[in-house]
């Protein structure tokens, strides 16, 4: 009986340690103006991005994100971009989080629970990517992913967000996101928010994609209807 009890304790401890925020989470809350805001956060193994937008219209509210790590129940984040408060960029902050089963998570002390959307599946492109090249006038132009000016796209198994920003100047240039699918070599984005042009909310964009030598080759037409060919590299 004692051995069985010990085994149960070990299994419970293992399950607790196995809890991870990797994937996508969402929640809704009402702000001081009575606006119902939807929040979505995507965690990959090392990076995260959160966005808030009007739950009905998709009008962009704000975004932030950067690197993260979890030690026990303490999450530590170092923001790389913040559309509403640049003073927080580059400054580490830690807080306690708690899980309720595998599908609920919140910051300790907060009333709102985030609900898990996915755990990094089923999409083929889950992870953090940096744009590393694009075709212009038929010629491929490489981009140094170590430079301060970055375009990052972060994906869970079903949700995506792209962010353009500069870690040196702390400038935020734009973002957009929503849901996506990868089926038979086709990557389809369904836009739920777009900071530069709210009229594009609700649009679906289909691209051809392939993974070649660990890089994501992405071709089709932009939200403006212009042809594009981009190369994205996994962010280390």
- CATH number at 143 reads 2.40.128.490
Q: What is the pTM of this model?
A: 0.90
Please say if the pLDDT value at position 11 is more than 70. Answer: no
Nearest to 189 by CA among 200, 198, 174, 173: 200
8 falls within a domain: no
Stretch 139-161: mean pLDDT, rounded? 96
Residue where a domain stops, chosen among 118, 146, 179: 118
- Structurally, the chain folds into a number of domains equal to 2
- What confidence tens digit (pLDDT) does each residue in 177-234 have? 999 999 999 999 999 999 999 999 999 999 999 999 999 999 998 878 889 999 999 9
Which residues face 175 on adjacent strands? 163
Domain that holds residue 111: 23-118
């Amino acid at each position: 009986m004692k051995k069985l009890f010990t085994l149960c304790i070990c299994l419970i401890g293992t399950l607790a340690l196995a809890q991870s925020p990797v994937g996508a989470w969402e929640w809704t809350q009402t702000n001081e103006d009575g606006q119902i805001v939807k929040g979505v956060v995507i965690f990959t193994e090392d990076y995260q991005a959160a966005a808030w937008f009007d739950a009905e219209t998709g009008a962009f509210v704000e975004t932030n994100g950067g690197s993260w790590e979890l030690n026990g129940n303490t999450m530590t984040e170092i923001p790389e971009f913040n559309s509403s408060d640049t003073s927080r960029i580059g400054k580490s902050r830690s807080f306690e989080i708690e899980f309720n089963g595998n599908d609920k998570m919140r910051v300790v002390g907060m009333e709102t629970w985030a609900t898990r959307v996915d755990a990094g599946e089923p999409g083929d492109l889950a992870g953090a990517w940096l744009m590393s090249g694009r075709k212009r006038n038929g010629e491929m132009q490489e981009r140094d992913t170590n430079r301060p000016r970055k375009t990052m796209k972060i994906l869970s198994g079903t949700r995506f967000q792209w962010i353009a920003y500069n870690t040196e100047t702390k400038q935020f240039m734009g973002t957009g996101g929503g849901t996506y699918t990868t089926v038979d070599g086709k990557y389809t984005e369904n836009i739920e928010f777009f900071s530069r042009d709210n009229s594009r909310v609700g649009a679906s964009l289909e691209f051809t994609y392939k993974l070649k030598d660990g890089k994501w080759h992405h071709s089709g037409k932009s939200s403006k209807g212009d042809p594009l060919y981009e190369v994205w590299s996994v962010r280390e």
